[in-house]
Amino acid sequence: MTNPQHLPIDTLDTPQAAAAFDLRPLLLANLTCTMAMMAFVSLIGPIARVLGLATWQAGIAVTVSGVIWMLLARPWGRASDRLGRRRILLLGTGGFTLAFVALSLFIDLALHALPSALLAFAGLLLGRGLVGVFYAAIPVGGYALIADNIEPEHRARAMASLGAANACGLVLGPAIAALLARHSLSLPFYVLAVLPLLGFTLLKARLPRQELHLKQPPKSVRLSDPRLRRPLLVAFIAMLCVAMAQISVGFFALDRLGMEPARAAQTAGIALTLVGVALIASQLLVRQLEWPPLRMIRVGALVAALGFATSIVAAQAWVLWLGFFVAAAGMGWIFPSFAALASNAVDAAEQGATAGSVGAAQGLGVVVGPLAGTLIYGLEPRLPYLLAALLLVLVACWPEARRR
C-alpha cells in the first residue's frame, strides 16, 4: 500500500522551508503574462478590421495558442522534471516576453504599412503561436513548483491563489487594452510587453534554486493513467464549458435577447468581466475553506451548473449576467481543485509530467470548446449552456472509486 499522500518521505519539504516558499513571484508572472494574452484577444477584432482580415482568420489567430498549449504542455512538464522548475519558468517567462515584443512590433508595423491580408494573417499567426509556445510552460511549471513545495492538504489553496492571479489578468488585460487603445492600437501591446519582463526579473531573483523533485529520477506519466482519469476529464470538461460559453455569449445577446450589435457587444463584455470578478472572488474563498479537492469539485460543479441553467432561461441582460457570474463562481472552485487532485494522486518524481498532462487536457478543451459551441449554437442558441450544465452535473455525481 502506498503512502496516502503519494509522496516519498525524503522529498517532502520541511515546515521551515515550506514557510519560506514565496508564491508571490509566481503570481506576478502569471498575472502579467495572462494580461498580455487577454489584451491580444480583446484587440484582435479592431486590428483584423484595419488589416482587412476575415473573421475566421482572427479566430484562428486566437485559437492557435490553445492548440500549442495542448501540444506542448506535456513536453514542458517532462522538461521541468529533467531540468528543474526554475529553469523552465525562467525560459517560459523570458521567451514569452521576447515573443510578445516581436508580436507587438509586427502589429505596429502592419498597422502603419498595411501589408496584404495574407501576409498580415501569417505574421499574426506566427507571432501568436510563438507567444503560445512559451506561455504553455508557465502554468505547467507553476503547478509543479507548488506541488514540490506545498504539502498535499494545502495545495488547492496555493493553486487557487494562482487561479486568482490568472483571473485578475483576465479582467485587467482587456481593461488596460481598452483604456490605451483610445490613443493607438499599438500602444497597449508595448505597455503590456513590459509587464512580463517584471515577472521574469522577480522570478529570477526570488525562485528557490534548490529543486526538491530532483532527489529521484523523473518518471513519465501516461494520459491513460487510472490515477489521473478523474482530474484530466474534469480539466477538459471545465475548459470546454468555459470556451463554449465565451464563444456563444455575444451571439446569444443578438439572437435570444434581440439586441443590436453594439449593445450585444456591450452585454457580452459585461458578462465576461463579471466572469473574471467571480473567478477572483471564488478562488479567494477557496483559500479560506481548504476543503478536500474532490469535495470542492462537486460543490463547484453544482454551482456552475446552476449558473448555466440560469443563462438558458435568460430573457434580459441582467439574468444573463447573473447566470455567468454564478457559473464562473462555481468554475473558480473547480479549476484549482482538479490540479490539486492530480498532484496529490502521483509521486514527487511525476509532478512535472502530471502538470503537463493537466495542461494538455485544458488545452484540448480550449480547442474543442469554440468549435463545439458554435456548431450546437446553430441548432439552438440555448444548447451550449444546456450541454455545459448537464456535463457539470455528471461531474458532480461521479462516484468516488472504492478504496482497497
In a domain, 8, yes or no: no
Query: Torsion angle of alpha carbons 22, 177, 272, 234, nearest 10°?
Result: -40
Torsion of CA 221, 77, 365, 347, to 10 degrees: 40
Is the domain of 257 the same as that of 327? yes
Instruction: Give the per-residue pLDDT at 280.
Output: 84
Stretch 256-279: mean pLDDT:
81
How many domains does the chain fold into?
A: 2
Residue 13 within a domain: no
Domain containing residue 273: CATH number: 1.20.1250.20
pLDDT tens, residue by residue, 219-255: 777 777 788 889 999 999 998 998 888 778 877 888 8
Mean pLDDT of 35-60: 82
- 74 near 360, Cβ under 8 Å? yes
Query: Is the same domain home to 180 and 276?
Result: no
Confidence of residue 218 (pLDDT cuts 50, 70, 90): low
Closest CA to 250 of 74, 41, 110: 41
Residue 3 lies in a domain: no
Residues 191 and 329 in one domain: no
Are residues 88 and 72 in contact, defined by beta-carbon separation less than 8 angstroms? no
Q: Look up the pTM and report it.
A: 0.77
3-class DSSP state of 364:
helix
> Residue 147 sits in which domain range?
21-209
Choose the final residue of a domain: 181, 209, 237. Answer: 209
Domain stop point among 209, 241, 268: 209
Assign 348 a pLDDT band (cuts: 50, 70, 90): confident
Point out the domain boundary residue: 152, 175, 209.
209
Task: Judge if 192 and 263 occupy the same domain.
Answer: no
Identify the band that residue 9 occupies on the pLDDT scale cut at 50, 70 and 90. very low
Residue 324 confidence class, pLDDT cut points 50, 70, 90: very high
Query: Is 32 contained in some domain?
Result: yes
Instruction: Encode 57-67: b = buried (16+ Cβ within 10 Å), e = exposed.
Output: bbbbbbbbbbb
Note whether 176 and 45 are same-domain residues. yes
- pLDDT bucket at 183, cuts 50 / 70 / 90: confident
Could you tell me which of 47, 260, 98, 272 has the C-alpha nearest to residue 175? Answer: 272
Q: Are 121 and 53 in contact (CB under 8 A)?
A: yes
133 and 266, same domain (yes or no): no
Distance of alpha carbon 125 from alpha carbon 24, whole angstroms: 32
Q: Quick one: pLDDT at residue 2?
A: 37
Residues 6 or more apart whose Cβ sits within 8 Å of residue 14: none
Is the residue at 10 inside a domain? no
Measured distance CA(220)–CA(215) in Å, rounded = 16
Answer yes or no: do 154 and 298 share one domain.
Answer: no
- Mean pLDDT score across all residues of the chain: 84
What is the pLDDT at residue 301? 95
More confident position, 112 or 153:
112
**Residues comprising the chain, all counted:** 404
**Three-class SS of residue 36?**
helix
Does a structural domain hold residue 4? no
Distance between CA atoms of 382 and 191, rounded to whole angstroms?
A: 39
Same domain, yes or no, for 39 and 180?
yes
pLDDT score, position 3: 39
Say which residue the cell 503512502 belongs to: 3
Residue 187 and residue 253 in one domain: no
Residue 48 has pLDDT above 60, yes or no: yes
Do residues 233 and 358 share a domain?
A: yes
Band (pLDDT 50/70/90 cuts) for residue 211 is low
Judge whether 219 lies within some domain.
Answer: no
Q: Is 96 domain-assigned?
A: yes
Residue 200 sits in the same domain as residue 295 = no
Quick check: helix, strand or coil at residue 262? helix
pLDDT category of residue 20 using cuts at 50, 70 and 90: low
Same domain flag for 205 and 313? no
